[in-house]
Every structure is written in C-alpha cells, then in structure tokens.
Amino acid sequence: MQYLSEQQARQFSPLALAFLGDSVYELMIRTAILSHGNATVKNLHNTKIHFVCAAYQAKASDRIQFNPAEQAIFQRGKNAVHAASIPKSAIPADYRKATGLEAVFGYLHLSGNSARLEELFQQIWNMQSEILPIISAPHSSANEE
C-alpha cells in the first residue's frame, strides 16, 4: 500500500476516515485478543464486543492525549455524525466520540504512521481494567458528555 502524506490524508471526509478507522481498530483488537491464546470463535467474538463498541471507544477517547493534528481529526469525526446515523443501541455522545476515534485511526493508517497508531492502540488496550467495569455498569454513560 502506498501511504499518503498527512495533508493528503486530512483531505478525506471525517466519515470516510472513520469508515477505514473502524476496520483498522477492529483488526488491532482482534489481533490483540488472539495473541492471548486460542479460544472458541464464540469466546473470541464475545471478548471483541467489549472493545469494539461505542461505549468503550468513547471512554478511551476521553483518556487519550491526542496531538493537535489528531485532535482536529477527532473533532471533525465527532462533529460529522448525524442523529439519523446513530444506532438505537448506542448513546449518541458515545457514538460521536467513537466515530472521532475511528477517524483518527483511519487518518493514521492512511498516512502510514504505524508507530503512533500502535502507541494509541496500546494506550486503549491497557485501559481495559479501568474502562470495562464502567461500561458494564447499567446506565453508566446515559448522563455523560
């Protein structure tokens, strides 16, 4: 794959970046889960669901220290979501933040910044002990934004 310059990557719409970033993020999650050992597909899928959901991604994005370029992409992604596109199962504020995070992942992938992509992913992966209990609590993020 031929990578783009950061300027070229910024030219894509935030939802196009999120479209790609969603896949990049999920692939990284699946790889991390599988690297912890073999399991049934059902168990792998159930584990993946905890990390590839708007609630987890939103909480993670609240804790990440984005650089200025990433923060701009995050804001564009977060602001690009229209109410009609938000699934009924997701809290709108969480869904917007998750879309922003996915846009950053898409941007970093397109621009070939794999070191930063891995750095952000490791931060997110390492947050699981603090985030999973929060999103597992009933109605935990209904009043947040």
Helix, strand, or coil (residue 46): helix
Position 65 scores a pLDDT of 93
Q: What is the pLDDT along the chain (145 residues), one digit of tens a residue?
A: 899 999 999 999 999 999 999 999 999 999 999 998 888 999 999 899 999 999 999 999 999 999 999 999 999 999 998 777 888 888 999 999 999 999 999 999 999 999 999 999 999 999 998 888 887 775 444 444 4
Q: Which domains does the chain have, with CATH numbers?
A: 11-134 (1.10.1520.10)
- How far, in Å, CA of 16 to CA of 29, rounded? 20
Q: What is the CA radius of gyration of the chain?
A: 15
Ramachandran quadrant class, 112 (left: phi over 0; alpha: psi -120 to 50; beta: rest) = left
Catalytic amino acids? 22
Position 142 scores a pLDDT of 43
- How far, in Å, CA of 58 to CA of 61, rounded? 5
Position 103 scores a pLDDT of 98
Nearest to 106 by CA among 36, 11, 31: 11
- How far, in Å, CA of 5 to CA of 11, rounded? 10
CB burial string 68-82: b at 16+ within 10 A, e below: ebbebbbebbbebbe
Spatial contact of 58 and 141, defined as CB atoms under 8 Å apart: yes
Residue with token string 């992966």 = 125
- pTM summary value: 0.89
